[in-house]
Amino acid sequence: MRRMEARIVGYTILAVPALIGALFMWPSARHSARQPLKVGGFSQIQLGMTLGEVEDLFGGPAGNYGRYTGGSMTLEGYLSPPGSIERVWRDDDHSFEIYFDRESRVVGRHERARFQGAPAHNWYEWLR
């Protein structure tokens, strides 16, 4: 019986660090497979463009293309067009807010000044 207990303890000692390592590496591996945000696409966005055209310019759908989930924002007071739908593309140095109408056509665009991505204030992000 003691031999069985020793074997279980031994497997646990090996398995727990491997599991913890896998949990922390999985988001990093997933992030590295993603293409970087094409920030030059912002200057080419024009009113009336479709969502698909904007996604082509940025290199993918709206979302976070940076390493960090948190970030600092500025209080710039950009007024979005009434009834518009906001979609945000960002990385660690840029935050682009593009506004669409109900037909998914651009009706407004804004780049946040001095945006900087930063680690979130939680233990998981800090350890990553």
Residue of 123, 80, 71 whose CA lies nearest to 101: 80
pLDDT at position 114 over 60? yes
E-strand ranges in 21-101 read: 63-64, 70-72, 85-90, 95-100
**Same structural domain, 42 and 103:** yes
Give the pLDDT of residue 39.
Answer: 93
Domain total for the chain?
2
Task: Tell me the two tokens of residue 96.
Answer: 């682009």
**Same structural domain, 9 and 54:** no
118/25: higher pLDDT = 118
Residue corresponding to tokens 């599991």: 19
Dist. CA 33–CA 117, nearest whole Å: 19
pLDDT at position 46 over 70? yes
Domain span at residue 104 reads 36-120
pLDDT at position 32 over 50? no
Per-residue pLDDT reduced to its tens digit, 76-88: 778 899 999 999 9
pTM for the whole structure: 0.65
**Same structural domain, 17 and 59:** no
Dist. CA 102–CA 49, nearest whole Å: 13
